[in-house]
Amino acid sequence: MTVVFGGTFDPVHIGHLHAASVAADILDTSILMVLSARPAHRKAPVASVEDRWCMLRAACANIERLIPSDVELRRKGPSYAIETLVSLNASHDEPVIWVLGADAFDLVHTWYRFDEFVNRCSFLVFARGGNASERLPRGFKKADEYDVLERSSGSVYFGNQAMMAISATALRLDISQGCAPDELLPPSVWEYVRQRGLYLT
């Protein structure tokens, strides 16, 4: 079973690590933390891809089940999730389980070549603040148990575990205003941000 938690990680924060760790516990497997190097579906990241990759590696260094993945970094051009699914050999019978927050899931139908996802992946979705809409993209079915996710592609399981109310956008704002949100970042990431002077403007 291959499980992916993707993100721009600008910067990676403990909300991401918590969500990925919950997914690792639920599914009892390790998680590929895939850096969206050049995201196509959102504003360009603030930190460089090299800085975001260093922070992601530092954040995962002591967490055995979270494996940083540079699969999208090594490709040229925009980071399309469908190309990641293809490179991971995702198929109907051996789908990749893609873990994301409800905010990202709400926009998933706009992702490049989304029609192909139904034959290659299932989704594990966590609510982020308030209730998630649980709206299903075309072709996907709601799963009542998370073990359905790995049996075949095209399923969505909505996890009810509590997530942390942290966003990278708010963190960047805090840092630019001189606040030190050190408890919201892994210590090694906060150290990196300070040393490199990231997010000051």
Number of residues binding to ligand ATP, judged by CB under 6 A: 19
Q: Does 185 bind ligand ATP (CB under 6 A)?
A: no
Helices (H), the chain: 14-27, 49-60, 81-87, 102-105, 168-176, 187-196
Please say whether the beta carbons of 130 and 144 come within 8 A: no
Q: Indicate the residue among 120 and 128 with the shorter CB distance to ligand ATP.
A: 128
The rounded distance, in Å, linking the Cα atoms of 11 and 157 is 27
Q: How far apart are CA 41 and CA 104, in angstroms?
A: 10
Q: Is 48 in the site for ligand ATP (CB under 6 A)?
A: no
Sole residue written with tokens 């997530």: 163
**Is 120 among the residues that bind ligand ATP (CB under 6 A)?**
no
CB of 100 to ligand ATP, least distance (A): 3
Q: Which of 169, 179, 187, 200 binds ligand ATP (CB under 6 A)?
A: 169
Work out how close the CB of 10 gets to ligand ATP at its nearest, in angstroms, rounded to a whole number.
Answer: 6
One residue of 3, 4, 17, 19 binding ligand ATP per CB under 6 A = 19
Compute the distance between CA of residue 94 and CA of residue 105 in angstroms, rounded to an integer: 21
Among the listed ranges 6-14, 73-81, 134-142, 182-190, the one in contact with ligand ATP (CB under 6 A) is 6-14
d(CA 122, CA 192): 34
Q: Which is nearer to ligand ATP, 92 or 176 (CB)?
A: 176
Should residue 101 be labelled a site residue for ligand ATP when binding is judged by CB under 6 A?
A: yes
The amino acid at residue 20 is A
Residue type, 134: E
What are the residues binding ligand ATP (CB under 6 A)? 7-10, 15-16, 19, 100-101, 103-104, 126, 128, 163-164, 166-169
